[in-house]
Amino acid sequence: MASATDTAVPASVFDLTGKKIWVAGHRGMVGSAVVRRLGAEPCTVLTADRSRVDLRRQSEVEAWLDVEKPDAIVLAAAKVGGILANSTYPADFIYENLMIEANIIHGAYRAGVKRLLFLGSSCIYPRLAPQPIHEDALLTGPLEPTNEWYAIAKIAGIKLCQAYRAQYGCDFVSAMPTNLYGPGDNFDLKASHVLPALMVKIHKAKQEGLSSVEIWGSGKPQREFLHVDDLADACVHLLRVYAEDVAINVGTGTDVTIRELAEQIAEAVGYTGGFHFDASKPDGTPRKLLDVSHLRRLGWEARYSLKDGIAHTYRWFLENQSNLRA
């Protein structure tokens, strides 16, 4: 935890007042949370539906930017998924993410956009990076094979921001969130991340009176989980104050094993059965805990505990489950 003496909130480098901010990817879990959070700021939020702008098409992105002329962009658009989706659709994950990033970052430069915040993922770091993972660990070792395609695309996004800053002086920055969850998450078991997947499985097991729930892998990998509303708050903070080259980590600073996560979800759901582990499914990276000291020095910390975040997300799931693919 940062102490009062080592935390010095920097002066704002970008005032949001009166600015037009394009949230690219506003229908996703992250983008929709950023739109909600920016609603509390004195700025105008721009969004573009897929029917109007296909972010994989350069001409459509450039035409949109020419017309709308945003002052800033939060680049939350991405093809995302859990461990199975990542390893099943490597071409989609690398191609779509590279295209979206290249089109928006180059388009932002071309249109004279003043600020851009690119969002990546903690899977950009080497599989066996020292824990907690400091920003310096980038490109110091081999990636986790189950998500290397997505990770390579996200590393390219960081490098695009750094290249346009170096060559053209664009004030484009990157933030690397840890594993995210919350309202608007994907609850489809074939594509989802672990937290929503276990929420669906445990909820169904309770309803059907099952004595055990299947968990992929060994249950031993450790993951750090950040509520998406905390990420959105961090994005607004970084938009205001962060103007450095380094892709900054965004997380809570604590992690749990997958088994512990399942136990916490079971408690929230009120499920009293057990768990069994499917060793035929991959564990992925053994541990992915971010070093968030840089962000703390900038005066930001996550507010949701995992317990409160799971409870909040489960309430959202119960209210919205009839509209979800699960």
Catalytic residues: 150
With CB under 6 A as the contact rule, the residue among 83, 155, 156, 213 that binds ligand GFB is: 83
Binding to ligand GFB, residues 121-160 (CB under 6 A): 121, 123, 146-147, 150
- Least CB distance from residue 150 to ligand GFB, whole Å? 4
| Three-state DSSP state, 296 | helix
| Integer CA distances (angstroms), 22 to 41, 44, 84, 168, 183, in order | 14, 9, 31, 21, 21
C-beta separation of 161 from 173 below 8 A: yes
**Is there binding between residue 205 and ligand GFB (CB under 6 A)?**
no
Query: By rule CB under 6 A, what count of residues binds ligand GFB?
Result: 26
**In the complex, what is the shortest distance from the CB of residue 216 to ligand GFB, in angstroms, rounded to a whole number?**
3
Residue linked to tokens 């992929």: 216
Region from 14-22, 32-40, 55-63, 192-200 binding ligand GFB, contact rule CB under 6 A: 192-200
Cα angle for residues 4, 9, 14 (degrees, 5° grid): 170
Number of alpha carbons in the 13 Å side-chain half-sphere of residue 212:
7
Note whether 269 binds ligand GFB by CB under 6 A: no
The length of the chain is: 326
In the numeric block, which tokens belong to residue 115? Answer: 């600020």
Strand partners, 20: 44
Give the shortest CB-262-to-ligand GFB separation in angstroms: 8
120 is a site residue for ligand GFB (CB under 6 A): no
Q: Letter for the amino acid at 164? A: Y
Which residue is nearest to ligand GFB, using beta carbons?
A: 82
Piece of 16-24, 103-111, 128-136, 193-201 that binds ligand GFB (CB under 6 A): 193-201
Contact between 284 and ligand GFB per CB under 6 A? yes
Q: How far apart are CA 293 and CA 255, in angstroms?
A: 15
Ranges within 44-73 binding ligand GFB (CB under 6 A): none
Binding characters for ligand GFB, 9-48, by CB under 6 A (x = yes): ----------------------------------------
Q: Are 115 and 73 in contact (CB under 8 A)?
A: yes
**Is 309 among the residues that bind ligand GFB (CB under 6 A)?**
no
Contact between 317 and ligand GFB by CB under 6 A: the answer reads no
CB 286 within 8 A of CB 222: yes
Whole-angstrom Cα distance, residue 165 to residue 157?
A: 12
By the rule CB under 6 A, 258 interacts with ligand GFB: yes
Report whether 157 contacts 285 (CB < 8 A).
Answer: no
Angle value at C-alpha 258, between 93 and 225, nearest 5 degrees: 65
Binding window for ligand GFB (CB under 6 A); candidates: 19-27, 37-45, 217-225, 309-317: 217-225
194 forms part of the interface with ligand GFB (CB under 6 A): yes
β-bridge mates for residue 213, sequence order: 275
Among 25, 28, 70, 82, binds ligand GFB (CB under 6 A): 82
How many Å separate Cα 248 from the centre of its chain?
Answer: 13
Q: According to the binding rule CB under 6 A, does residue 86 interact with ligand GFB?
A: yes
Task: Point out which residues bind ligand GFB (CB under 6 A).
Answer: 82-84, 86, 121, 123, 146-147, 150, 179, 192-194, 197-198, 215-217, 221, 223, 258, 281-285
